[in-house]
Amino acid sequence: MIRRENAQVGMADTLTWMPATGNKTLEKIDESIDWTSIRRQIEKLYRKGGPGRPAFPALTLFKALLLQSWYDLSDPAAEEAIADRLSFRRFLGLTLDEKVPDHSTLHRFRDRIAPIIDKLFALLNHQLDVKGLILKKGTLVDASLIHSAAHPPAKKGEGSHDADATWGGPHHKSIYGYKGHVGMDQDSELIRQAEMTTARVHDTNLLTSMVSGDEAAVYADKAYRSKGHSQWLQARGIRDWIMLQAQHPHPLSEAELEHNRLASRVRQGVERFFGTMKRHYKFRRCRYWQLSRNRCHFFVLCICYNLKRSIKLATI
């Protein structure tokens, strides 16, 4: 499938897309980001010429996935909303007389970019870093369980429609699904690192992956505490603010309790992030089956969160 470029904006589009009819948040995001590196990275997945029906521009499809996450739209609902809303067309660079991507096109595009979604996330984060929005004072590490889109097996050992999902979490709160992991910049509350695994994977296995290496400190709850992690952070000159856990029969000292209180106070930012994901972005349950698709969706959500957060930070 070959690429095609966006059509020229016509007079009708210019007259219709007056500032009063625009979506200010989408306009600010569009103006604040240089999308060139994103477009080039995605276009590597397509051939430049040859036979076949022309595809929608890569950047148009990528932005469509962002709209889906911001407005909690399924693929069919996104197709309808893009066709109906002028602000969406403007954000995607579609003129009034152009067809919009259909739901199957969005589905195929998501699968296509899934292997490089972490690279797209990193490219956008690099721009936020260059703007000085990532402060690197500390990294807040945490993870949250996300229910599978498929119903869990009725009995242990039975199969499920989502073969990648697993059981995980505390015994009394065990869920069937996946786990999202993040490393958040302390004061800006921008997500610097992200990953999605099955629910079975323990939080502590992802700590080093969530640390960028240039931060001054790392904050995490007791699940991440280990001698190996403390030594790893110390070797990199990163202050260890992982919460301490009492070892029976020795209770924590007052100094250790104060350490935990301070670490917990700072860690609240990353807990707010997962609250936003579950309340605003409806990410209590995965939308898709298979780890690769849900991982792609999680990274898109993190990108959406960072873009909106960066607009807020720019006005402070």
pLDDT in tens, 201-255: 999 999 999 999 999 999 999 999 999 999 999 999 999 999 998 877 788 889 9
Q: How far is CA 45 from CA 104, 116, 124, 170, in A?
A: 18, 9, 18, 41
The tally of domains found in the chain comes to 2
Residue 99 maps to a domain? yes
Answer yes or no: do 105 and 150 share one domain.
no
Q: Is residue 244 part of a domain?
A: yes
Task: Kindly give the interhelix angle for 103-113 and 75-84, rounded to the nearest 10 degrees.
Answer: 120
Pairing of strands 175-185, 191-198: antiparallel
Q: Is the pLDDT of residue 34 over 90?
A: yes
Please say if the pLDDT value at position 290 is more than 90: yes
Q: Of 117, 147, 169, which one is at a domain's C-terminal end?
A: 117
Whether residues 189 and 283 share a domain: the answer is yes
Model pTM score: 0.90
- In the predicted model, is pLDDT for residue 51 greater than 80? no
In a domain, 220, yes or no: yes
Judged against a pLDDT cut of 80, whether residue 158 lies above it is answered with no
Beta bridge partners of 250: 247
Q: Distance between CA atoms of 97 and 257, rounded to whole angstroms?
A: 64
C-alpha 203/C-alpha 141 separation (Å) is 9
Stated as kind and residue range, the H or E segment containing 233 is: helix 227-235
Question: Which one of 56, 86, 117 terminates a domain?
Answer: 117
Residue 4 within any structural domain of the chain: no
* 29 and 144 fall within a common domain: no
Strand partners for 175: 168
Q: Is 42 in the same domain as 169?
A: no
- In angstroms, the CA 16 to CA 22 distance is 10
Average pLDDT, the chain: 89
Say whether both 216 and 309 belong to one domain. Answer: yes
Q: How far apart are CA 276 and CA 296, in angstroms?
A: 18
Same domain, 200 and 73: no
What's the pLDDT at 20? 46
Do 163 and 107 lie in one domain? The reply is no
Strand partners, 147: 177, 285
Q: Would you say 146 and 164 are in contact if contact means Cβ atoms under 8 Å apart?
A: no
Q: CA torsion sign, 288 to 146 to 209 to 120? A: positive
Residues 202 and 291 in one domain: yes
The percent helix, strand, coil of the chain (3-state, each to 5) is 50, 15, 35
Q: Tell me the per-residue pLDDT of 16-33, one tens digit each, with 9 for 90 and over.
A: 545 545 689 999 999 999
Query: Do 172 and 96 fall within a single domain?
Result: no
Q: What's residue 15's pLDDT?
A: 45
Domain extent for 92 = 11-117
The verdict on residue 129 lying in a domain is no
Amino acid at 155: K
Q: What is the pLDDT of residues 84-132, one digit of tens each?
A: 999 999 999 999 889 999 999 999 999 999 999 999 999 999 999 999 9
Return the sign of the alpha-carbon dihedral for residues 248, 250, 251, 252: negative
* Whether residues 29 and 79 fall in one domain: yes
Q: What is the 3-state secondary structure (H, E, C) of 31-45?
A: HHCCCHHHHHHHHCC
- CA–CA distance, 238 with 257 (Å, rounded to integer): 21
Among 84, 117, 150, give the residue marking a domain's end: 117
The answer to whether residue 278 is domain-embedded is yes
pLDDT digits (tens, 9 = 90+) for 169-192: 887 778 999 999 999 999 999 999
The residues, any chain, with a CB within 8 Å of residue 310's CB and separated by 6 or more, are 32, 128, 131, 133, 190
Q: Classify residue 284 as left (phi > 0), alpha (psi -120 to 50) or beta.
A: alpha
Residues 105 and 160 placed together within one structural domain of the fold: no
- Residue 66 shares a structural domain with residue 93: yes
